[in-house]
Structures are given as C-alpha cells and as structure tokens.
Amino acid sequence: MTDTTTAAPVPSSQPKGAPAGAPASAPPSFLGALEIDIRFLGMIGALAVIWIAFDFLANGTFLTPRNLWNLSVQSSSIAVMSTGMVLVIVMRHIDLSVGSILGVTGMIMAVFQVNYLLPAFGFNHPAVMILTLAAGIGVGAAIGALHGFVIAYLGVPAFIVTLGGLLVWRGAAWAVAEGKTIPLVDDNFKLLGGGADGSIGATWSWVVAIVACVAIAAAAVQARRQRQRFHFPLKPVWAEIVTVAAGCLAVVAATLMVNAYTLPAVLARRYAESAGIAIPPEGLSISFGYAVPVLVAVAVGIVMTFITTRTRFGRYVFAIGGNPEAAELAGINTKRVTLAVFALMGALAAIGAAISTARLNSATNAQGTLDELYVIAAAVIGGTSLSGGSGTIAGAMVGALVMQSLQSGMVLMRVDTPYQNIVVGIVLVFAVWIDTVYRKRIK
C-alpha cells in the first residue's frame, strides 16, 4: 500500500486559473483587474482635455460632427505611417524620410496614373486604382528596403541615412514632374481621400459598428481561452464585461458621430436627383458615415497590431529593441529584420501617400513636408520609447489623433502656421520628457 498526497486546495483569493499551490495574492485594484495601461488611459484623458479646451476656445466649433469627421480623415495618413514608425523606434532607429517618401510615391502614383494607366485602360477602369496602389506601395517598399540595406549591411546610422533620404526623395518628388502639380483622374482612387463619395453612409456604418463589436467580444473570449489553455491568471468576469462594453461603447459613439454629419442640402438634392430618389417636403438628410481613409487606417492598425503581437517577426523586432546583442546571440538575423522593418515603413508611407493624394485630388512636390515630425511625435506621444523595446500600435494611432487635434484646434483659433510648429515642437519634447521620467520610475 502506497501513501498518496493531494495538493492543498487553492485559496479563494488566488486568481482562477493559477497553478495549484501558488501563493495567494492580494485582490487587484480596479485598473489592475481591467489590465489597462495607465499611460494609454492618461493619453485618452489628455485627448479629452484637448478637445474640451479647444471647443471652449473656438466658441463651440471643435466638438461638432463636421469638425470631428474632418479630423478623423486628416489623421488617417499620419496614423498609417505612425504604425510603422513604432517598429522603427522600437528597434532603436529613427526614420526622418517618411514625409519625403510620401511626397515622391504620391507623385509617382499620380504620374503613372495620368500618363500610362489612363491611356491604356480609360477612365475609371478598376485596374487603374489597383495598379496605381501597387506601383506606389512597391516603390515605397523599395525605397525603405534601400534605407534598411544601407543601415543594416553597410553600418551607416539610421539618422544619417534617413536624413539623406529626406533630401534625396524630396528632390526626386520635384524631378518626377519637374515641379508641376499632377491632378488625379480616376474617381475610384479618389475614394481613398474621403469626401461625400469616399464615405460609406449611415447603413453600412452601422454594419461596420456591429461587426466591430462582435470582433471585440470574440477577441476577449479567445484571449480568455488562451489564458485558460496555458494556465495563466484570468481576469475577473466583470472586468471582461467592462472591457468589452467600453470598446463597444466607443464604437457606437464614433458611429453616431460620423452619422450625425450630413450632406449639405444642395449636395443632398443633387445626389437624390442623380440616384432617382424622391425628395420629401422637409428635405433629405444623408449621412456621410465612416470615411474610406479612416477605415483604411483602422485596417492597417489591426494588421500591424497582429504583426507585432502574434507573429515571430514582431517578437524579433521587440527582442532586438530590448537587447540587440542578446537577440543576435539568440540566432535572430538582426540585419534582415532591420531591412524588413524599413521596407515596411516605406510601404506604409506609400499608403499614406495614396490617402493624402486622393484627399487633395492631386500630387505636389511639397506634399508630406514636415510629416516626419508628426509621425515621430505621434509614436512617441503614443508611448513608444526612444530607448527601444517598448511601444504599441494603438497608442501611436491615438498619438496621431492627438497631434492632428492640436493642429485642427489651432486652425480653428486662427493661429499662424509658425506658431503651430512651435506648439508641436514643445509637445514632442514634453512627451519625451514624460517617457524619460516614466522609465526611471519603473526601474
């Protein structure tokens, strides 16, 4: 007869899903149970303060559906590029050339569309938009890969390489069309810029909202199952419900806002006449809904979040940023990863160029000037550490919204551009200082 021992029962204060026999821990705080990043929450609070302050200073013109809708469209290209800048900065590099890459790829797309695709396919052929985007993204990725090759394989610091790129590609943007402004001709491509045609309307906006809420709930359930599978501590059920409810509430609020912005009466009447819709005596109310560039930016954010958190490539990027020497000793090909990150940054700059060019309905050699400042500031304000190894895609995209909110608010207050740049510079330095203080406190 053999003696058997049984594991002691798990104390009631121990988190569900923890290994048997683990020491009991104190109940987490409210924010601890929700597992919310304090810095991200603080940034949301700062954004709310900025919005309220500008609405007061601009006599109630900031927090209107029209301005907020325009703000979301204007933030899209910066938000797209900031997702790539997160990976660049996480790896302890910097890219000063993204504004110039945006300018040259936007010009190349416009020239390619007007001079080559239009004669070959005709007006508004579906292939025109597809091939224009393919050409722009391909050129952007090639430029980024060239930067990455010089940085990784030739050993030139990223600051110098991308500073040279800032000058080279800005000059190339001028050379492509000899300084001329190139108007776009494809209406399908123009949808990427937003506007009355580049929006999906109220009905489809609610469809997107429902899909988003279902996705949020499904993601929470999947995350909980993964924790159970690997015997990690579980969040309290009430915390899961609060997190999902907060996400869905934000989606519903955004949908109500974009649907509250309606077409002007003249445009609504023209739309009804062209579509054969009867106009009631009280007039038509046609909502813009979500703008296409905003949906593109959100899609890019979701894909980049998946890449950074769910792929080997993303883990390699953060490992290299945390300790490059240890990552290399662990067998990670740091040079190849560096090249890939800069190529991805170039491709994202080209997507930003497509949005920016479509929004302006033309390409100019000055397009994207100072965008590198806004992209870097968005990433840093969003919590990406300049010392490397830390950063989030969602934080950078909110940072882009913060930067554009500052600019939009100052425009409404009729602040001159030089003073706007002063404010942006001060905010960037302040954000880096906050990051430095935060890093010292957690050590």
- Three state DSSP letters for the chain: CCCCCCCCCCCCCCCCCCCCCCCCCCCCCHHHHHCCCHHHHHHHHHHHHHHHHHHHHCCCCCCCHHHHHHHHHHHHHHHHHHHHHHHHHHCCCCCCCHHHHHHHHHHHHHHHHHHHHHHHHCCCCHHHHHHHHHHHHHHHHHHHHHHHHHHHHCCCCHHHHHHHHHHHHHHHHHHHHCCCCEECCCHHHHHHHCCCCCECHHHHHHHHHHHHHHHHHHHHHHHHHHHHHCCCCCCCHHHHHHHHHHHHHHHHHHHHHHHHCECCHHHHHHHHHHHCCCCCCCCCCCECCCEHHHHHHHHHHHHHHHHHHHCHHHHHHHHHHHCHHHHHHCCCCHHHHHHHHHHHHHHHHHHHHHHHHHHHCEECCCCCCCHHHHHHHHHHHCCCCCCCCCCCHHHHHHHHHHHHHHHHHHHHCCCCHHHHHHHHHHHHHHHHHHHHHHHHHHC
pLDDT at 442: 66
pLDDT at 275: 65
**Same structural domain, 106 and 179:** yes
**Same structural domain, 84 and 106:** yes
pLDDT at 418: 86
If the chain, 443 residues long, is cut into consecutive pieces of 10 residues, what is the mean pLDDT of each piece? 43 44 52 74 88 92 93 95 97 96 96 93 92 96 98 96 96 90 92 88 95 94 89 86 94 95 77 69 80 96 94 95 92 96 98 95 90 92 87 93 92 88 84 75 66
**Same structural domain, 194 and 329:** yes
In a domain? residue 5: no
pLDDT at 281: 67
**Same structural domain, 136 and 209:** no
Here the CATH number for the domain that contains residue 318 is 1.10.3470
**Same structural domain, 62 and 172:** yes
Domain count within the chain:
2
pLDDT at 12: 43
Residue-wise pLDDT for 368-415, tens only, equals 988 998 999 999 988 898 888 888 999 999 999 999 999 999 999 988
Residue-wise pLDDT for 171-194, tens only, equals 999 999 888 999 998 999 999 998
**Same structural domain, 361 and 411:** yes
In a domain? residue 146: yes
**Same structural domain, 192 and 208:** no
Residue-wise pLDDT for 106-144, tens only, equals 999 999 999 999 999 988 899 999 999 999 999 999 999
In a domain? residue 95: yes
Domain boundary pick from 290, 324, 339: 290
Domain boundary pick from 290, 321, 337: 290
pLDDT at 90: 96
In a domain? residue 71: yes
pLDDT at 25: 46
Domain that includes residue 247, residue range: 200-290
**Same structural domain, 328 and 430:** yes
In a domain? residue 98: yes
Domain boundary pick from 290, 307, 325: 290
**Same structural domain, 253 and 296:** no
**Same structural domain, 320 and 180:** yes
